[in-house]
Structure 1
Amino acid sequence: MDRAALPAAVEPKKKGNVRFAFACAILASMTSILLGYDIGVMSGASLYIQKDLKINDTQLEVLMGILNVYSLIGSFAAGRTSDWIGRRFTIVFAAVIFFAGALIMGFSVNYAMLMFGRFVAGIGVGYALMIAPVYTAEVSPASARGFLTSFPEVFINFGILLGYVSNFAFARLSLHLGWRIMLGIGAVPSVLLAFMVLGMPESPRWLVMKGRLADAKVVLAKTSDTPEEAAERLADIKTAAGIPLDLDGDVVAVPKNKGSSEEKRVWKDLILSPTKAMRHILIAGIGIHFFQQSSGIDAVVLYSPRVFKSAGITGDNRLLGTTVAVGATKTVFILVATFLLDRIGRRPLLLSSTGGVIVSLVGLATGLTVISRHPDEKITWAIVLCIFCIMAYVAFFSIGLGPITWVFFFAYLPETRGRTLEDMSSLFGHTATHKQGAADADDDAGKEKKVEMAATN
């Protein structure tokens, strides 16, 4: 496909296109604010919910931790929904669901109603977390995809900070009203987000999958570094959709079931018959996500007021003010990490982050142990140690474990850096299409060797 195939009126210029893709990625990733706000605000609101609704610790723990279970439902449903109505309207749909959940929680009169609102909000969070990275990856040029796909983690941290600030701002209200406003005001960013997203273009991949080639060309021209890259991305997506490369037009017919059969083939190769190198990559990818969550970040973020209370800090205002400092530290360091990813490298940041997290948690455990063994004494050095270790923990987490898990497959692995999404689909599923003939077998062996070398570096 040549340069003339792209609309002349929107012929791309590299800097302008990066800015446009940057703006689209920011708007899409802002859906992550919903998750961050829900986590942050619940940490402080829980202090007042327990007093007002007179619930026990077990009920409170279920209320705070159940969001991850509910969000799984939204995550599973988001894929089909986005294929049906498009990425952009799925983001709007996620914002609408969270809006409803926030209102229900804000007007809750008992524990059951609060749990139902938590359920609705969790569905919206699941939708948002699934669709934001997908849209960002599909609209971003290959040169900036790794950087742009780290944005969801940035906005999660910003949402957590907003939740902490909301706790501190409304803590002085009456017990009956304060926590309800903390939760209900979360509906405001979802409304703003829904309207802003309507100004975004649709994903070019989804447009091609629906046969809307003219619309896809316009978006690709605006989000690619060069006209050649735009043409290459269009050709790759057409191939993935089963559309002949020589078939052109504003709207074309898309072969039925081509995309679904290709998707099933790729997943079958990944799960049932992965190569040794691919198994290595899967273990690394799943492992880094597992250890990110098992490092205890959710516990620190959700229960930071209780941790500070255990450390000897008294008074709700002091507790909530200290959590604001935690949120600010986390946000600042995630921004620093975002700009250091391409300069220092992912591996050094990840290793330093992991080491810092371990040392910080050991220090926090030491301080809390000393304080718990001397309940009648105020041990200043142990209190200072606990506060310092919590701040250090969120800082170290934010420079490595936080953002790198989001960019792992797009930038951390050498064999995916700079590739289009269709290139990566071929890479992850190449074993199913190269099994006949000695020449094809040799080709497979060569590809596997390259992937093994990249995966072990």
Structure 2
Amino acid sequence: MFLAGSAATAAASGYAALMAGQLVAGVACGFGLVVAPVYIAEIAPPSSRGFLASIPEIAGNSGILLSYIADFALAGLPMSLNWRLMIGIGAVPPLFLAAAALLAMPETPRWLVLHGHHDDARQVLVRTTGGDAALAERRLQEIVSSVKESATKQQLSAAAAAAAAGGASTGVWRDILVRPTPAVRRVLFAILGLQFFQQASGVAAMVLYAPRVFNHVGVTSERAVLGATVLLGATKTASIVVPLFLADRLGRRPMLLSSAGGMAVSLLVLGFSLRVSSSSGSGSEWWAAATSVAAAAAFMATFSLGFGPVIWMYGSEILPLRLRAQGTGIGTAANRVMSAAVGMSFISLYEAAGMAGTFYLFAACSAAAWVFVYACLPETKGRSLEEMEALFDAAHPSSPPPAS
């Protein structure tokens, strides 16, 4: 679908065909946002799951940066050709993805067990545990036990729902939306809360409207605005590498708490510099502009330390096996809807509340995100996926140390 969307858009002969190609590419993006974290969470060993689950976010930011470079390189070509090449070049990476899926990517052991392919699951586990057959067998038995327990819960839930509805049954979606267990309800609350707060912090507004923000503090030179915007992109891309190495050492909660706190402080400083710039004379504009750019860069950096990549790994690893794909899809949809709402309302919001007031609001949302993480999210570092449902059955988010 990535290949078809890029190729169709590049070959479009009119507006309708252009939008149809973009629609296909957008659906492909949705698949990628759901499938990649689920696949990595299910196939990665617990000891390195945080490291591996950070890769999609890093790859996404790197891809955006590469697209900027490609656009810049192709901009000098004739107008009838340059935009088609800019979009059409996006059909090349899916070829490598298809080759990797065919030649190097096994199905996840949990999916194989769920569909009765125990021997295939054992072979995959041996590969992903470095050839340790004993460890692979122990992981396999954990997965088999989890699948059996999950199936029993699902049968009991289905029987209760069918009795209440006169024999009707709606399967997985019923277990998520209609009659979720207390543990599933807490898991969904955690996922939707993280996705909401990620976008409520205003990251979409910063990405889309950074030039307007910098213009507001007196940065009017096109070259200076471009340089400041590139600084934000480079900071975001560089900082997102940090969780790759720390997620499995520090844990998910410390990284999310540090990220939310840093975002709140950065946005407060940004709002203050915007307020000073709008109420003072031209003599203070230079330091207000410098402070605004530094605060915006700090916001991007602290966002990338936790709320950028960690929420995706956290959401994909806490969902029960039988609900993982659908639950991840719900979280992704909530994230995209909230991102669109922030991006579409930003101009109206700052015209009504002022630019400084808008970023004060984003700072308040980031502070609320800190409270949410502290009060509602247990630590998942070092735990197997089979332990997660029991973890969320606990009454308090402060979890005991993971099993050795």
Query: TM-score interval w.r.t. the shorter chain?
Result: 0.5 to 0.7
Structure 2 counterpart SS, 1:401: coil
Mapping of residues 162-181 of structure 1, within 5 Å: 162-181=66-85
Number of equivalent positions? 328
Q: Percent identity?
A: 44
Mapping of residues 16-415 of structure 1, within 5 Å: 97-198=1-102, 199-224=104-129, 226-239=132-145, 264=171, 268=175, 272=179, 274-275=181-182, 279=185, 282-308=188-214, 312-313=218-219, 319-368=225-274, 379-408=285-314, 410=317, 414=378
Structure 1 length-normalised TM:
0.60
Structure 2 residue identity aligned to 1:298: A
1:213-265 CA deviation, whole Å, 9 max, x = no partner? 3322211111126433311332344445569xxxxxxxxxx9xx98x969947
Which of the residues 376, 384, 392 maps onto 1:420? Answer: 384
Structure 1 residue identity aligned to 2:36: A
Displacement after TM superposition at 1:185 (Å) = 2.0
1:160-199 CA deviation, whole Å, 9 max, x = no partner? 3223333433444455544443333222222222223322
The structure-2 alpha-carbon separation of the partners of 1:361 and 1:269, relative to structure 1 and needing over 3 Å to count, comes to: closer
* Contact 1:368 1:382 survives alignment (8 Å): yes
Structure 1 counterpart SS, 2:92: helix
The structure-2 alpha-carbon separation of the partners of 1:167 and 1:387, relative to structure 1 and needing over 3 Å to count, comes to: farther
Greater mean deviation of Cα atoms: 405-414 or 99-108: 405-414
Greater mean deviation of Cα atoms: 372-381 or 385-394: 372-381
Displacement after TM superposition at 1:391 (Å) = 1.2
The structure-2 alpha-carbon separation of the partners of 1:375 and 1:113, relative to structure 1 and needing over 3 Å to count, comes to: farther
Structure 2 residue identity aligned to 1:200: M
In structure 1, distance between residues paired with 2:62 and 2:379:
31
* Contact 1:308 1:319 survives alignment (8 Å): yes
* Contact 1:270 1:278 survives alignment (8 Å): no
* Contact 2:243 2:306 survives alignment (8 Å): yes
Structure 2 counterpart SS, 1:452: coil
* Contact 1:281 1:455 survives alignment (8 Å): no
Structure 2 length-normalised TM:
0.67
* Contact 1:164 1:324 survives alignment (8 Å): no
In structure 2, distance between residues paired with 1:378 and 1:165:
35
The structure-2 alpha-carbon separation of the partners of 1:208 and 1:293, relative to structure 1 and needing over 3 Å to count, comes to: same
* Contact 1:138 1:204 survives alignment (8 Å): yes
* Contact 1:142 1:418 survives alignment (8 Å): yes
In structure 2, distance between residues paired with 1:307 and 1:173:
31
Displacement after TM superposition at 1:106 (Å) = 2.8
Structure 2 counterpart SS, 1:146: helix
Structure 2: give runs of 5+ residues left out of the alignment. 160-169, 319-372
Structure 1: give runs of 5+ residues left out of the alignment. 1-96, 244-253, 429-447
The structure-2 alpha-carbon separation of the partners of 1:414 and 1:376, relative to structure 1 and needing over 3 Å to count, comes to: closer
In structure 1, distance between residues paired with 2:79 and 2:220:
18
* Contact 2:10 2:85 survives alignment (8 Å): yes
* Contact 2:253 2:379 survives alignment (8 Å): no
Structure 2 counterpart SS, 1:202: coil
The structure-2 alpha-carbon separation of the partners of 1:372 and 1:163, relative to structure 1 and needing over 3 Å to count, comes to: farther
1:133-162 CA deviation, whole Å, 9 max, x = no partner? 111112111222233223222222222322
Displacement after TM superposition at 1:201 (Å) = 1.9
1:86-109 CA deviation, whole Å, 9 max, x = no partner? xxxxxxxxxxx1122122333445
